[in-house]
Amino acid sequence: MKVVITGADGFVGRALLHRLVNGSAFGGMSAALLPTEAIEPIAVVRSLAAAEALRTAFPTLHIVVSGMKDVVLADHLAGAHAVVHLAWSTVPVVADADPGGDLEANLTHGLQFLESCGRARIGRFIFVSSGGTLYGSSGTVPHTERTVPDPRGAYGTGKHCFELYMNVRAKQLGFEALTLRVANLYGRTGTGRKEQGVVEQWMERICTGSPIEVWNGLDVVRDYVFIDDMIDVLLAAVERPIKEPLLNVGTGIGTSLAELRAHMARIIGRDGVVQLRGDQPPSISWNVLDPSLLQRTWGLAPRTTLDAGLNKLWAERQLRQRA
């Protein structure tokens, strides 16, 4: 089973490849969710440097260097059972600073990529969207898939636009489409190239004695999903029948920044010094996703509590420091 993974050198891509290449991809799943055939991943990255870094971690992996509009990619898409689209060149602060650049890099090139997928007759297209920036503060508590999107910035707007284009073109071009709206994902190890992830940034600052910068107060509430639980969902999305075109990936549990700080202090053994910035209320004061449709669809529920995830992240950091 050929599976093409764009943005394979990113946080989620590397975690997915680790599970696939190391042969334990479905180790945590029930027998009803085990795959029927082996998965052959093809990793797509945008630069030779990224390919070389990925090759170091996965020596036998099939890696392709290609942009989303590159015709070279067409041959690798041919006959693919699934495309997992993780490639997205911006983070919220970058997208807001240059909405036009965000549109060109992610929407224009993304649409061209959808056309290539249609010509290659892929089976399904799985898009990892953003539940953390696409939903506003209104609607159900927590947000269900029926909550009307209300993005407050260019990043969430771009993700939502791509969802809409993908659904339309999938019907016209003849492949399945699935959107996964993910809450605040954490579990990055090492230093990433994108300035993203409050959990990882705070942990690093607490460990180095640097102050934690908090904008608009500690009462902001978010839903934190550990990377292992995200990969469980992606693996099911590749293999299992798509019964719903849109699924939330969250825990249904809200955690304030003050609570997150307390969790970290207990695990690390010291508290972080907070520097409050800004006096305006946050654009989105709370964001929690309802995971019940995912559970009803594939029998998947988050397995990692926030304390367990933070403990694992802390333990891995300690190992890196000793290495």
Per-residue pLDDT of 45-72, as tens digits, reads 999 999 999 999 999 999 999 876 666 6
**Between 122 and 23, whose confidence is greater?**
122
9 part of a folded domain: yes
More confident call, 136 vs 12: 12
> Is residue 219 a part of any domain in this protein?
no
- CATH number of the domain that residue 240 is part of: 3.40.50.720
Q: Decide if 191 is inside a domain.
A: no
Would you say residue 274 lies in a domain?
A: no
* Distance, CA of 137 to CA of 149 (rounded, Å): 10
How far is residue 219's CA from residue 259's CA, in Å, rounded to a whole number? 9
Indicate the number of domains in the chain: 1
Q: Average of pLDDT values for 169-187?
A: 97
pTM: 0.93
pLDDT at 158: 97
Grade residue 31 by pLDDT with cuts at 50, 70 and 90: very low
Report yes or no: 283 and 210 within 8 Å, Cβ to Cβ. no
Residue 26 pLDDT > 60: no
Over residues 186-205, the mean pLDDT reads 78
Is residue 22 scored above 70 in pLDDT? yes
How far apart are the C-alpha atoms of 163 and 127, rounded to whole Å?
Answer: 8
The domain containing residue 28 runs over which residues? 2-186+225-252+288-303
What Å distances lie between residue 70 and 64, 112, 257, 263, CA to CA? 11, 9, 42, 45
Please determine, for residue 147, whether its predicted confidence score (pLDDT) is greater than 50.
Answer: yes
- Give a yes or no: residue 293 inside a domain: yes
122 assigned to some structural domain: yes
Does the pLDDT of residue 246 top 90, yes or no? yes
Which tens digit of pLDDT belongs to each residue from 253-309?
Answer: 999 999 999 999 999 999 988 888 877 778 788 999 999 999 999 999 999 999 999
- How far apart CA 305 and CA 320 sit, in angstroms, is 23
E strand or H helix that includes residue 63: strand 62-65
